[in-house]
A and B are shown apart, each in its own frame.
Chain A
Amino acid sequence: MPILQPIGRTFLAFLEATGRLSLFTVLSLSHCVRPPFYPRLVLRQMVEIGYYSLPVVGLTAIFTGMVLALQSYTGFARFSAESAIPNVVVVSITRELGPVLAGLMVAGRVGASMAAEIGTMRVTEQIDALDTLATNPFKYLIAPRLIAGLTMLPILVLIADIIGVFGGYVVSTQKLGFNPTSYLQNTWDFIEAQDVISGLVKAAVFGFLVTLMGCYHGYSSRGGAQGVGTATTNAVVSASILILSFNYFITELFFAR
């Protein structure tokens, strides 16, 4: 049955890739918590991930908040339910759009550059050189990135939440004729700790996934410039898909009762 062969082969390849990724994840995590630590490198990655992603995440958030207000207005006006707009904006941003969009933007920015950097180090034997200098690449390259991703994304998302809500506020008050004070009052009344917290938990998970994918694909890249290119693409694509699927599961965990 020649038709079964490719199916079997694909299945085996899938199992192998899953196994390798699981091993990589466990190894990376164990090196995150065992000394020696490299605080300088962690700090540098935090600046790289957190600070330098601020503009792109901020821009995404403000336009998302603005369009959210505009769209819900055109929809809700039909039922004269415009007063729900502050609620819609703050809940959508904190629960879903803040973490997911920030995660995706960071995947494109940080995940890609990590895969390219570590992949280039791999194909130019720099990772071998690290090994011979008795420096574990998991500790030196991967752990600082994972720690930075895990801690910086929640902070980024918190800022994105505020900017997003502000975007909605600007459109509502300047364009849709809302009263600024009552809009803010409504937002404040509707906001719930759980919305924000679930969003921040998501952000931490996404930050971990993005950096993990960047490191994993870079670390296992093979064969020159083309290999690095493939690794970069794979890092962004797999991180994006993982973000969207984990988003569903975490949402279910928090809200499906």
Chain B
Amino acid sequence: MNDSTDAKPLTGGNAAATPKGGTPKISIRGLTKVFGDKVVLDGIDLDIGEAESMLVIGGSGSGKSVLLKCILGLLHPDAGSIKVDGEEVVGLYGAELDRVRRKFGMLFQNAALFDSLPVWENVAFGLIQGQRMARDKAREIAQQKLGAVGLGEDVGLLMPAELSGGMRKRVGLARAIATEPEIIFFDEPTTGLDPIMGDVIDRLIVKCVKELGATALSITHDMASARRISDRIAMLYKGKIIWTGRTAEIDRSGNPYVDQFINGREEGPIQMQVRDL
């Protein structure tokens, strides 16, 4: 793959702590989402710049996936505003919402492959249905994307039920990038992959951002991968963004929550609700 960038971090060090000038690609203000009486997101403010790779970290169940789904309009926020290219997307529906969604690609945490379609048609779905591309051409592109995530021609003919967990994830990734969208969301792209394949996928994500100029918003628990793929990191805790900064500065954040999280220590301000056996 792109072996030109050996040094870490792959993204280079020119990323600013705030997005570069102009309107941010995605701008979130006061985003609130409540399930029953449980406040999952409690007034999130976040800006993601054009062609920037943003990463959200936070404990399991802290609402990271919910945040992505709110931006995509899959969940309806209870309050707040989400602007994509300066256009408000909260409250959009029908054809208008579809038009905005064409800008996005999404890798779901559990891949969410269509189990009635073979692998290659999963990957080609956005091309065939969304862009009305001819099936032969879409199939060619699908095989090419599958190749980029390390899956051969033969895998393209399998059904999703015949794949391993890591393979499903990679097919989901190929599907997310198949239409070369402007904005790509990666929900835990490397979870369940071996370390080498994890690195391959990290490089692929970086390539999407650097070469295709896509804006990326990723979620990961793997700090090594986080450092490789992101320009900036935001930490989500108890429904709020408690820290945002450049990836290179994460070790010097001066925030005890962030320090505890990235070093994976049990002691610290974040208390896990567990009891002894």
Contact = CB atoms under 8 A, between A and B. Distances in A.
A132 B116 CA distance: 18
Nearest to B126: A133
Interface string B65-79: 000010011100000
Nearest to B176: A132
Interface string B107-123: 01010111110000000
Interface string A132-150: 1111100010000000000
A134 B69 contact: no
Given A128-B69, A128-B74, A129-B106, A135 B129 contact: yes
A173 interface: no
B102 interface: yes
Contacts of B116: 117
Contacts of A129: 106, 108, 112-114
Nearest to A130: B114
A82 to B, nearest CB: 53
Contacts, number: 52
B86 interface: no
B237 interface: no
B125 to A, nearest CB: 5
A131 B108 contact: no
Nearest to A120: B115
B135 to A, nearest CB: 10
A132 B98 contact: no
Most buried by B among A117, A120, A124, A132: A132
Contacts of B105: 132
A192 interface: no
B104 interface: yes
B221 interface: no
Contacts of A134: 98-99, 101-102, 126, 129-130
B110 A132 contact: no
Interface string A94-138: 000000000000000000000001001100111011111111100
A25 B151 CA distance: 42
Contacts of A133: 101, 125-126, 129-130, 175
A64 to B, nearest CB: 34
Nearest to B106: A132
Nearest to A44: B116
Interface string A23-59: 0000000000000000000000000000000000000
Given A124-B110, A129-B106, A129-B112, A135 B72 contact: no
A49 to B, nearest CB: 16
Contacts of A121: 114
A98 B115 CA distance: 35
A136 to B, nearest CB: 7
B148 to A, nearest CB: 19
Nearest to B122: A129
Contact of B113 (A117, A120, A126, A128): A126
Interface string B84-102: 0000000000000011011
Interface in A229-253: none
B101 A132 contact: yes
Contact of A132 (B74, B99, B114): B74
12 contacts: A121-B114, A126-B112, A128-B69, A129-B113, A131-B101, A132-B101, A132-B105, A133-B130, A134-B98, A134-B102, A135-B129, A135-B130
Q: Nearest 8 pairs between A and B by C-beta? A: A125-B112, A129-B112, A132-B106, A133-B126, A135-B129, A134-B130, A134-B98, A134-B101
Given A133-B175, A135-B125, 14 more contacts: A117-B116, A124-B112, A126-B113, A126-B115, A129-B108, A129-B112, A131-B72, A131-B73, A132-B106, A133-B126, A133-B130, A134-B98, A134-B101, A134-B126
